[in-house]
Amino acid sequence: MADRQPSVFEPQTDLESFHTHLKKSKRVLALLGAGLSASSGLPTFRGAGGLWRSVKSTDLATPQAFARNPGLSWQFYNYRRHMSLSVEPNPAHYALAKLARKMPGFVTLSQNVDGLSQRADHPSDRLHLLHGTLFDLKCSDERCDYREENYTDPVVPALAIPADQAQPAGSVVDISDSMVALPSLTTYDLPHCPECKRNLLRPGVVWFGEALPEVVLNKAKDYLAAPENIDLIMVIGTSAQVWPAAGYIGQARARGARVCVVNMDSDAPPGGWKQGDWMFAGDAAVLVPELLKPVIG
């Protein structure tokens, strides 16, 4: 009687076998999540740090939350813009940007809205923002097509975060803590659409229940549908729980890709581990430059 095939594969953890595969890879995808920016100092969405004033960050990322309380929604997004502008890209952002310059077949699909990959000079034609960016604003009325790029901090004066007098100059109080009072606001104080002049502007991020940008979906679709196989997908700092982003892992596998997960946790990707996968547990900021070294130096 033959031994039964194990139904669960253990991922490989050795750098050497990964380096050997990377060196002969031509078409590589990266799927990025909030864990990539964690060591820059930005909180992730789930787990510790995923609450904002006792509300789950994911519950604030909805059209309903904006309609119900646009002031609170803007406080949340203005704070995230401020935090993102206050921190720096880390070595993993730079390593991925360098790989994009060295390997023409490397494409990144990022769920991150924090602008750190862009600030690390990741080539924009190879960086597709699945969930938009905090630094695009658009009219909250879909019938008005007004959009702008906007890095003003605070986005309007009424959203200025109070200074923290107990900390060095430039520090602000932590308004993600529900014990800290929020400055009061009226709808009049919030950013308004300069085109239709009737509606509020909103952040140009994708909220739960909304479609991803069609142009980005098409870029991903074209890459996955190209006649050449995909050699590798690197899944970095994401819990891979949000779709359609998480579905790209299975789609890349179906085109021949081996999967390499880089994460603080050792959770399996959707569909479980398969033979030939890699799992590197730890901080992406440390691991990603090491993993990419044979190509980026």
Strands 201-205, 132-139: parallel, antiparallel or unpaired by DSSP?
antiparallel
263 binds ligand OAD (CB under 6 A): yes
- In the block, which residue shows the tokens 């190509």? 295
Strand ranges, E, within 187-231: 201-205
> Residue type at 202?
R
Which range, of 67-75, 142-150, 196-204, 257-265, touches ligand OAD by CB under 6 A?
257-265
39 binds ligand OAD (CB under 6 A): yes
Q: How many CB atoms lie within 10 A of CB 88?
A: 10
Which member of 93, 122, 128, 131 is catalytic? 131
15, 19, 21, 46: which one binds ligand OAD (CB under 6 A): 46
95, 120, 127, 284: which one binds ligand OAD (CB under 6 A): 284
> What token pair was written down for 141?
């009325």
Is 21 assigned a catalytic role?
no
Residue 254 CA to residue 107 CA, distance in Å, equals 17
Residue 149 CA to residue 227 CA, distance in Å, equals 36
DSSP 184: P
Residue 179 CA to residue 158 CA, distance in Å, equals 20
62 binds ligand OAD (CB under 6 A): no
Q: What is the dihedral of CA 263, 268, 273, 279, to 10 degrees?
A: 20
22, 107, 206, 292: which one binds ligand OAD (CB under 6 A): 206
Q: Which secondary structure element, helix H or strand E, spans residue 137, and what is its range?
A: strand 132-139
- In the block, which residue shows the tokens 């750098």? 15
Which range, of 35-43, 154-162, 186-194, 270-278, touches ligand OAD by CB under 6 A?
35-43
Task: Tell me how far, at minimum, the Cβ of 181 lies from ligand OAD, in Å.
Answer: 26
Which range, of 20-28, 145-153, 194-202, 237-245, touches ligand OAD by CB under 6 A?
237-245
- Of the candidates 167, 223, 157, the one whose C-alpha atom is nearest the C-alpha of residue 190 is 157
Which range, of 10-18, 33-41, 146-154, 215-223, touches ligand OAD by CB under 6 A?
33-41
38 binds ligand OAD (CB under 6 A): yes
Q: How far is CA 166 from CA 57, 115, 125, 180, 198, in A?
A: 27, 29, 43, 14, 41
Task: Tell me how far, at minimum, the Cβ of 226 lies from ligand OAD, in Å.
Answer: 25
150, 239, 250, 255: which one binds ligand OAD (CB under 6 A): 239
35 binds ligand OAD (CB under 6 A): yes
12, 40, 44, 176: which one binds ligand OAD (CB under 6 A): 44
Residues numbered 139 to 198 that lie near ligand OAD (CB under 6 A) are none
The residues that touch ligand OAD, with contacts defined as CB under 6 A, are: 33-35, 38-39, 44-46, 58, 61, 111, 131, 206, 208, 237-239, 241-242, 262-265, 283-284
What residues are labeled active site? Answer: 131
